[in-house]
Structure 1
Amino acid sequence: MSMLDQNEIDALLNAVDTGDEAEETDDVQKIFSRTRKDLDTVEIRQYDFKRPERVSKDQMLALETLHEAFARNFGASLSGFLRTIVEVRVAACEQMTYGEFVAGLPNPTSYNLIQPDKLEGQMCLEVSPLIIYPIIDRLLGGTNQDLFIPQRPMTAIEQRLISNVLRRGLDALSEAWESVRELKFEIVAHESNPQLVQIVPPNEVVMVIGLEVRMASRAGTMNLCIPYNVIEPVMDELSSQSWFAVSRSENDNTSHDRITKNIDQTGIEVSAVLAETTITLKDLSDMKVGDMLVTSKGHKDPALILVGQESKFLAQVGQHRGNRAVRITQSVARGDRVQGHTQD
């Protein structure tokens, strides 16, 4: 390495004072690339090397859609359990480091470690005290009016009560994940201070699904934290296209069978129209018992069978075992003209 002499140092100082060096720098802005690109047309995007995005936008969209189904099912389950309307919705779905996630949580809170049965590693579910204590108050017969939110860890009894709620949430979560992979979730540990729990290193990327839980005038948040290394084995199945395709292919046959079964058991009105005619309003107002209505239809002409409001068959009128009956003689296609009957 060569040292600068005094003349070279003086030249650099003079260039800084006069601005020559700055002008030269402005004139030679370059983009280092294998191909030449115009600086005015190239797209420059910021990239934070401390927070690498390991999950694509399609996978994040699929993850958000999946947990929207979880939110609906969990809200319906809570509404029935608490006998009041509970709304659960996805408020955010983003990726960050585990250290950033833990730093944004309150202390104390309800911090629950979740173990998926067919995946390695653990997830965590954090529930805000702002909604936990109104739920507990509701379970104990309270009205949530003037409810004080204590700043302390939950007692053993409170933890036992809230476990019943969380168990329903895990059932709804398993149901939502069925479209990707059949998983069962189990709570393996509870903690009130998130800083004491480290399921992954602080700089590890996690997906955080933020949910808002609203019950009457009370509202709070839930945060489901999924480390990337936990669901990495199913990331290929979680892309938006494959996930929707899997969902459709698995549900098509089930939906078809369920709809077919319900339709087969559905009752529908069937009527036989013997004849039709037209009269005036004056004739209708003068009509009395014993009057006779004469139609242009012969007594041997077939009756028209209506299924709902649609003409479907022609039939011969008779009786069977003492009851009025009709025997189908001919089908009627849509648009066919039937003598003696008006068609819609």
Structure 2
Amino acid sequence: MSDVLSQNEVESLLAALDGDASASDFGGGGGQDPAPRTGGQISVYDFKRPERVSKEQMRAFQALHEGFSREFGAALSGMLRSIVEVRLISVDQLTYSEFVFSLENPTCFNLLESKGLEGNLILDLNPSIIFPVVDRLLGGGRHARLSNPNRALTEIELRLVSRITQLAMRGLEKAWSNLCSLDLHVTQVESNPQLVQIVPPNEVIVLISFEISMGDMRGIMNLCIPFNTIEPLSGKLSSDTWSAYTKRAADERQKLSLEKSVGKAKVKLAVQVAETTVTADEIAGLAVGDIILTQRDQSSGLEIYLEGRPMFRGSPGMLKGHKAIRVGERIRPAKELIAQQLGESDEPEKK
């Protein structure tokens, strides 16, 4: 047998391999029809990054912070006396290590503590927008900067940036007011993000990124929320929760106009003198001067009804030749009386 195969032998081996492969793919041949292959969609899943935040909750975060971005941009414009646009660009979930290593070094890394949540939040401000903002607060900012210094913020710059941070925290507290009371305050400011470890590296976090634009200058602001911090609020993150964020306080002019219009509405007022039950024979035997006895005591007064509901007690009388009734005490509803009795029964226990 020669060591070198001829061309015919090579083609024979390849044909045999193709026949074996086709037979194994279709159940060994035998005249049977091949099983149909399903074209199911394959999705990639990374076990290092589990999807712990549902899509509905992610949409809730997006809607919640879109309102925050608009109000924060307006507040920032008023402080800097310049047009500043804050736009929500992404809401993602990733690990804490991925978030930290994606940041610039140095940066303005603010560690926030909340009394309403168990854990810390992170507010990161990119140097590409921080230095132009500081320049604007110090009287400059008329022209775009060619480059930003590659250094940490000085003490004076940190004091100026804290005004921006305070604006952002107040806006977040207002945006989250329907979920919980955040009551944020800064506990630590670092220039190197890798020096702060608030959760394990593989812990899932929700990263909310904003783009801050001031003229030709742009920068990124990141809000990092660990999942274990917001896990107790998972049930509240629904469309019904953040919709109330857009509600405004009633305008005083509209309030007075509504009160004036409602004040002109007519309501039915009736006074019940007494109530009793008599038979048909008694009614047939009634004559002028007869007295009908009722179960109401004379000293109890009369009941005044508004739209069919008892509201006050009063006493009958005459005023300028007309029948009248003097309004007395208010009739308290049963629910109010029960609540009062429960409150009185709780007071001895506290003592």
TM-score, structure 2 normalization: 0.62
Distance in 1, Cα, partners of 2:20 & 2:152: 62
| Residues 63 and 242, structure 2, Cα contact 8 Å, conserved in 1 | no
Distance in 2, Cα, partners of 1:131 & 1:234: 32
Alignment of 1:84-95 (within 5 A): 84-95=82-93
SS at structure 1 position matched to 2:189: strand
The 1:136/1:45 distance shift into structure 2, 3 A limit, reads same
Q: Say whether residues 1:185 and 2:184 are aligned partners.
A: yes
SS at structure 1 position matched to 2:110: strand
Matched residue, 2:167: 168
Distance in 1, Cα, partners of 2:51 & 2:164: 33
Q: How big is the shift at 1:46?
A: 2.3
Matched residue, 2:257: 263
Matched residue, 1:155: 154
SS at structure 2 position matched to 1:50: coil
Alignment of 1:1-16 (within 5 A): none
| Residues 125 and 222, structure 1, Cα contact 8 Å, conserved in 2 | yes
| Residues 137 and 144, structure 1, Cα contact 8 Å, conserved in 2 | no
The 1:113/1:19 distance shift into structure 2, 3 A limit, reads farther
Distance in 1, Cα, partners of 2:150 & 2:68: 29
Matched residue, 1:208: 207
Q: How big is the shift at 1:25?
A: 5.7
Deviations 1:141-169 (A, max 9, x none): 00342534100111111111100111011
Alignment of 1:188-337 (within 5 A): 188-240=187-239, 242-244=240-242, 247=244, 251=247, 260-261=254-255, 263=257
Distance in 2, Cα, partners of 1:197 & 1:262: 53
Alignment of 1:88-167 (within 5 A): 88-145=86-143, 147=145, 148-167=147-166
SS at structure 2 position matched to 1:235: helix
The 1:145/1:264 distance shift into structure 2, 3 A limit, reads same
Deviations 1:88-137 (A, max 9, x none): 01011111111111111111111110111111111101110000000000
The 1:78/1:151 distance shift into structure 2, 3 A limit, reads same
**Which is further off, 257-266 or 86-95?**
257-266
The percentage of aligned residue pairs carrying the same residue is 45
Say how many residue pairs are matched: 240
The 1:131/1:19 distance shift into structure 2, 3 A limit, reads same
TM-score, structure 1 normalization: 0.63
Matched residue, 2:38: 40
Gapped regions of structure 2 (runs ≥ 5): 1-12, 28-35, 261-351
SS at structure 2 position matched to 1:91: strand
The 1:20/1:154 distance shift into structure 2, 3 A limit, reads farther
| Residues 112 and 185, structure 2, Cα contact 8 Å, conserved in 1 | yes
Distance in 2, Cα, partners of 1:47 & 1:25: 30
Q: How big is the shift at 1:263?
A: 3.5
Matched residue, 2:68: 70
| Residues 116 and 180, structure 2, Cα contact 8 Å, conserved in 1 | no
Distance in 1, Cα, partners of 2:24 & 2:221: 51
SS at structure 1 position matched to 2:100: helix
Distance in 2, Cα, partners of 1:24 & 1:183: 66
SS at structure 2 position matched to 1:222: strand
Deviations 1:231-262 (A, max 9, x none): 1111110123x3246x28x95xx756867416
**Which is further off, 191-200 or 257-266?**
257-266
Distance in 2, Cα, partners of 1:244 & 1:234: 13
| Residues 67 and 176, structure 1, Cα contact 8 Å, conserved in 2 | yes
SS at structure 1 position matched to 2:74: helix
Q: How big is the shift at 1:22?
A: 4.5
Q: How big is the shift at 1:41?
A: 5.9
SS at structure 2 position matched to 1:219: strand
The 1:146/1:77 distance shift into structure 2, 3 A limit, reads closer
Letter in 1 for 2:94: M
The 1:146/1:256 distance shift into structure 2, 3 A limit, reads closer
Distance in 2, Cα, partners of 1:256 & 1:22: 76
Q: How big is the shift at 1:184?
A: 1.2
Matched residue, 2:59: 61
Distance in 2, Cα, partners of 1:211 & 1:222: 5
The 1:20/1:104 distance shift into structure 2, 3 A limit, reads farther
Gapped regions of structure 1 (runs ≥ 5): 1-13, 29-37, 267-344
| Residues 86 and 213, structure 1, Cα contact 8 Å, conserved in 2 | yes
